[in-house]
Amino acid sequence: MKLLIISLILAGTALVVIGTLNNQSTENTSLTLLTQNKQLAVATFAGGCFWCVEADFEKLAGVNQAISGFSGGQIKNPTYKQVSLGGTQHLEAVQVFYDPTQITYEQLLAAFWRQINPTDSGGQFVDRGTQYLSAIFYHSPEQQKLAHQAFDNLNKSTRFQTPIVTAIRPFKDFFPAEEYHQNYYQKNPIRYRFYREKSGRDNYLQKIWGKDLKIKPPHSKNSTTFIKPNLQTLKNQLMPLQYQVTQENDTEEPFHNSYWNHKEKGIYVDVVSGEPLFSSRNKYRSGTGWPSFTRPLEPKHIVTQEDNFLFITRTELRSILGDSHLGHLFTDGPQPTGLRYCINSAALRFIPQHTIEQEGYGSLIPSTQPTQASEI
């Protein structure tokens, strides 16, 4: 079906594609991204139509860019036409460049499973053929280990009635697809939505995952076990505003909350679970009326997810163990991160520096020492 749509697009727009060469602007993107931003890491996934996989990954906070292309085949620099005929053994794939301080590889894996049918051995949804098979191409032993763990956990779950067949393969090479394929969901939103709806992808994913379609916070390996109380218990434990913010995703009033202008040295923990979230060292005056931080104490204690509640797309912040709504992440913060973690005071409990050790957070005392960011 995608071939038919592409043919109509090419005819309707008089687009001329030279079949023997990939667009030069995307050919060296992978190397350029990693060279210019050494903080980024790379992951490679195949999940059928790369338009859809690219679009879903690029919506994740912490993902810098996703590139559509081909992996796992026998020839170098294949064209889309060559791959679509099924003779090169390439899979349509996407390379994901992400900031591991903002999103983990485990979270990327969780997002990947929620994009595909991992039990399909003949393709993905309406697209059939080996070029549309699903696969995880690992770049390191650690990625290999995590991919196999995720695979095994999903296979042991009752989510699917048939075995998982998604391949886990060593990464060898990646060749970007032609330029007209890159960011297709943005360049051709109407055609993309038409294809996506007709492919059956979203209907299948909603049926399989339901309310779990959004990524659930993974447990932190370095955190103590925390079992979240039921909602009635939390209502009894928390102040009304704390409950409304953390459990009902409410937002407190700016400039009229506990910590918006708070300057004392210490750390801020989740009011529900007590997991450490932010340090006074990374707090700054944003002028918004809410506590603002340039980075979290430990990135893996916070999960991000898309929030469309106000008819605009924002990045929601939630704690890992407490699953508390904290606030939102914006990209208008000061350097060196350029980020603003805009947090509700009602989601936080402040622990002064002089009581950190006695409350069991002694290892975090050095993290409260001031830096330039705290003086902004």
Give catalytic residue positions.
49, 342
Task: With beta carbons less than 8 A apart as the criterion, state whether 293 and 283 touch.
Answer: yes
For residues 347 and 371, give the distance between their C-alpha atoms in angstroms, rounded to a whole number: 24
Beta strands 325-330 and 348-352 are unpaired
At which residue do the structure tokens 């409990």 appear?
349
CA dihedral (16, 19, 25, 26) in degrees, to 10, reads 120
Task: With beta carbons less than 8 A apart as the criterion, state whether 278 and 262 touch.
Answer: no
Tokens of 173: 């090479």
Rounded to a whole number, what is the largest CA-CA distance in the chain? 71
